[in-house]
């Protein structure tokens, strides 16, 4: 796989050695068990896969290239390049301004743009209408387009099934940048509808089965479907694609639900006339990180720490998985760990910032699961390790621990 020129301050000597060790030990990526860092009084279970993915490193490389090649020009990102506050803050401090926030709300008017300005397209892509608007202003967005190749693969699949007259069901968060971008392309080729989870899939299933009315559909899926969507004609043939950062197992569960529903409704011999096989839209990094998190669940750890942006979809799903077994703390950086007794963290389901006292167990040996989202620098994980080690005395040295990896 291609390597990218990512600034060294996003790297970590510790994490690089761990990843290289695991790569040599398990080149086919068949072992999802974590790496144990045994410092004596505290042990870390480091996830097999975590941190910057291909798409994120590609986006960072292109963004820094834009900075190097356009001294003196005004540089803009359409919205957050990735969902990581440290990376976005770093780009802003280097002179890049944001045109929109993560929800698509305008921060700087497009009217201020000139053909001399540079606009970087984020890793999530951009809706077609916005690309056309920027083009009309004489801005060449293709020069610094950081759209993830795996997002583009989903777009190609939506085009393919749309042209085959399947309605496109998008598993995603309807206000997420990537989902908005994917919807704009899906809508160009056929009717499309966005569902958030299995519950909404089953709700849509009621319309396929004729249990609910068009009027109810307009309410249940308000702002989540193509114009002039007709439940009587547009739900006869469907295919499922995903926002690449969703929980892979849930996307598969949703696809299986619609396949079984169509099979029961029309017979197994007619399934291909009513359901498109789209399993290849799942992102490799999302799959790897989530599968590695299942490996973490097999440990006897006491707590879990997940590091990443609080608006990061892929990170939130790692939190969701860890919470199935551990007391889990979702933090944006080591700065959220105030001391041995206090941690600030994020309650993702309720979108609330919390402070928890006595978060670190007082045990002879404390075992901690540690992972991060695909948009989180390895340096952030290293910072967390050092911060927690500072709370303990008589720990083994980093060099000694790394020499004894197994």
Catalytic residue list: 178
- Candidates 189, 292, 317; CA nearest to 241 is 189
Q: How far is CA 237 from the centre of its chain?
A: 28
Tokens 């001294």 locate to 71
- Candidates 149, 237, 258; CA nearest to 190 is 237
Q: How far from 371 is each of 35, 85, 217, CA to CA, in Å?
A: 11, 17, 40
Q: Which residues does 256 contact at the CB level (< 8 Å), separation at least 6?
A: none
The C-alpha atoms of residue 216 and residue 358 are separated, in whole angstroms, by: 48
Q: How far from 334 is each of 84, 271, 397, CA to CA, in Å?
A: 14, 51, 20
Under 8 Å between Cβ of 76 and 118: yes
Under 8 Å between Cβ of 381 and 372: yes
Name residue 371's beta-bridge partners: 306
CA-based radius of gyration for the chain: 23
């Amino acid at each position: 796989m291609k390597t990218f020129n990512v600034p060294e301050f996003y790297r970590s000597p510790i994490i690089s050695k761990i990843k290289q060790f695991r790569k040599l030990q398990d080149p086919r990526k068949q072992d999802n068990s974590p790496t144990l860092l045994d410092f004596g009084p505290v042990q870390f279970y480091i996830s097999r896969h975590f941190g910057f993915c291909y798409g994120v490193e590609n986006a960072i490389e292109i963004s820094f290239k834009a900075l190097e090649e356009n001294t003196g020009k005004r540089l803009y990102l359409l919205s957050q390049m990735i969902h990581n506050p440290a990376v976005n803050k770093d780009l802003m401090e280097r002179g890049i301004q944001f045109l929109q926030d993560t929800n698509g709300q305008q921060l700087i008017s497009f009217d201020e743009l000139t053909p001399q300005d540079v606009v970087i397209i984020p890793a999530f892509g951009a809706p077609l209408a916005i690309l056309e608007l920027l083009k009309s202003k004489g801005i060449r967005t293709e020069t610094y387009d950081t759209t993830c190749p795996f997002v583009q693969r989903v777009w190609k699949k939506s085009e393919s099934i749309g042209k085959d007259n399947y309605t496109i069901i998008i598993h995603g968060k309807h206000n997420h940048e990537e989902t908005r971008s994917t919807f704009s392309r899906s809508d160009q080729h056929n009717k499309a509808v966005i569902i958030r989870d299995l519950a909404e899939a089953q709700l849509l299933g009621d319309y396929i089965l004729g249990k609910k009315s068009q009027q109810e559909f307009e309410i249940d899926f308000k702002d989540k479907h193509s114009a002039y969507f007709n439940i009587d004609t547009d739900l006869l043939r469907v295919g499922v694609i995903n926002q690449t950062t969703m929980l892979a197992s849930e996307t598969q569960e949703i696809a299986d639900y619609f396949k079984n529903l169509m099979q029961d409704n029309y017979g197994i011999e007619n399934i291909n006339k009513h359901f498109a096989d789209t399993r290849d839209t799942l992102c490799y990094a999302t799959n790897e990180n989530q599968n590695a998190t299942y490996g973490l669940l097999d440990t006897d750890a006491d707590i879990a720490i997940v590091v990443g942006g609080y608006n990061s979809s892929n990170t939130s799903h790692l939190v969701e998985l860890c919470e199935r077994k551990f007391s889990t703390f979702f933090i944006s950086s080591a700065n959220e760990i105030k001391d041995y007794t206090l941690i600030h963290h994020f309650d993702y389901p309720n979108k609330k910032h919390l402070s928890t006292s006595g978060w670190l167990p007082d045990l002879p040996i404390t075992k901690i699961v540690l992972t991060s989202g695909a948009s989180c620098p390895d340096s952030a994980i290293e910072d967390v390790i050092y911060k927690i080690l500072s709370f303990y005395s008589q720990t083994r040295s980093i060099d000694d621990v790394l020499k004894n990896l197994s």
